[in-house]
Amino acid sequence: MSKASGTNEAASPLDPDRWEKLVALQEAVGRDDFLQELASLFLRDAPQRLCDLREATEKGDAATAERSAHSLKGSSSNVGATRLATLAAEAEKSAHQGDFDAVRELFERLESEVDRAGRALVEKSGSRRIS
């Protein structure tokens, strides 16, 4: 396990500096629901990308696995879920190389980080919308 992809359960799954920038952006655009909408989008998108990644990996479809990991990396970065983005980047690289065993080894940590990031987003944004 690389240092970058290790998880520290005590640390927040969201980068505080990134979150502060998102709060400032919400204030700048003048939409009180901006962070809630961002959280809601992540809560819908991230589990689906993870499911797509798992299915593509099981089918041996490197291109779809790589795309799914790339999408998960992007959505994670957008909300400041940096550990999740790092794990997704590892999955993307492994999928690109056709190393499906390496991608499979990441599933448990990816699932855990998607859950942790989702919970933190709900808490920080005040969002209660999961669908």
**Dist. CA 21–CA 7, nearest whole Å:** 23
- The CATH number of the structural domain formed by 36-124 is 1.20.120
The C-alpha R_g of the chain, in whole angstroms, comes to 15
The reported pLDDT for the residue numbered 6 is: 46
Domain ranges of the chain: 36-124
Q: What is the pLDDT of residue 126?
A: 81
Task: Give residue 95's Cα distance to chain centre.
Answer: 17
Residue type, 117: A
Question: In this structure, is the dihedral angle defined by the CA atoms of residues 120, 24, 20 and 74, taken in order, positive or negative?
Answer: positive
Q: CB atoms < 10 A from the CB of 61, how many?
A: 16
Mean pLDDT in consecutive groups of 10 residues from the start of the chain, 131 residues = 45 92 92 91 95 97 98 96 97 97 97 96 73 39
